[in-house]
Amino acid sequence: MALEDAKTQVDTAFTRQDPRGLAFENAFGGAPSFLRRRYTKDLAGVDLAITGVPFDQAVTHRPGTRFGPRAIREASTLQPFDPPYGWGYSPLDELSIVDYGDLAFDYAKVADFPDTLTGHIRGILAAGPGCVTLGGDHYISFPILKAYAEKYGPISLIQFDAHSDTWPDDDMTRIDHGTMFYKAVKTGLVDPSRSVQIGIRTHNDDFLGVNVIDAPEVHETGPKAVADKVRAIVGDAPCYLTFDIDALDPAFAPGTGTPVWGGLNSAQAAAILRGLAGIDLKGGDVVEVSPPYDTTGATAIMGTHVAMELICLYGWTRRK
């Protein structure tokens, strides 16, 4: 059946009718939507919306993450042929998932960007589905968390990252991808006692009460112990998972703005994410994929796999 479908399916980003189901369009052809889901703004009956935020004007070093959503979508064409390995169910078959497209914003009015993004996510959540966002630099998580906190109250944050991004910054008008979680804690969007950062390997004097599982601990204790610890911290609280691709060692994800050695390998990241099955995940993002710094495309592939794991986590408690 898959072979027959491959002969006839093309541009399913526009032509597919059923939001559920695998896809067999040639990986190297057609218009790339995320996992060959249909591009649409119609969220009626949708379980999960995928959206892109091509923004990189908050970076402190190398730019290029504005091209992340496009690269992740292209890399995702390798994945919709089969259920994801190791989960035991097929989220593409069981969930109604659409590609909601990218955020529209005026790149020359940077000060307007945060409210524009919050409104974009607020609109998706108001329509009913959860949301997985493709970044973009990591600042985007802050406006997104505002929309989530409006709906769910202070949320538990699960953050995979080389950097804590909680460096002090009391100027709320600054748009900086290194200080947004300081602001998220200080403004009450995030509950630090039920939040956790995984893979940290840069210094910070004050983590603001957020629990930290640094990269050495991941290497020493292993993925299962890390996942168990995260689940104990988060408990049954509604949570949001943000995955900065620089949580991975540069050997696995060189295409990012601020790479740091000593990071997680891809197998560790996959095992930890799968070990979180059952958490009350309300949404998430994968950020800081900068294609210009990776000619192999490997970083975008990592980003795509992370996004698929977020879909699997979201669907785990919502399977039909």
Residue positions forming the annotated binding site for Mn(2+): 138, 161, 163, 165, 244, 246
Tell me how far apart the alpha carbons of residues 5 and 23 are, in angstroms, rounded to a whole number: 8
Amino acid at 284: G
Tell me how far apart the alpha carbons of residues 13 and 23 are, in angstroms, rounded to a whole number: 10
CB 220 within 8 A of CB 208: no
Q: How many CA atoms lie within 13 A of 33 on its CB side?
A: 23
Amino acid at 159: Q
Which residue ranges are tagged as binding site? 138, 161, 163, 165, 244, 246
CA 314 to mean position of chain CA atoms? 12
Tell me how far apart the alpha carbons of residues 269 and 264 are, in angstroms, rounded to a whole number: 6
Phi/psi for 80 (5° steps) reads: -85, 10
Tell me how far apart the alpha carbons of residues 251 and 10 are, in angstroms, rounded to a whole number: 35
Look up tokens 């060189």; give the residue: 254
- Cα dihedral sign, 308-310-314-317: positive
Q: At what angle are helices 266-275 and 298-316 packed, to 10 degrees?
A: 10
- Cα dihedral sign, 212-234-218-240: negative
b/e for 114-138, b at 16 or more Cβ within 10 A? bebbbebbbebbebebbbbbbbbbb
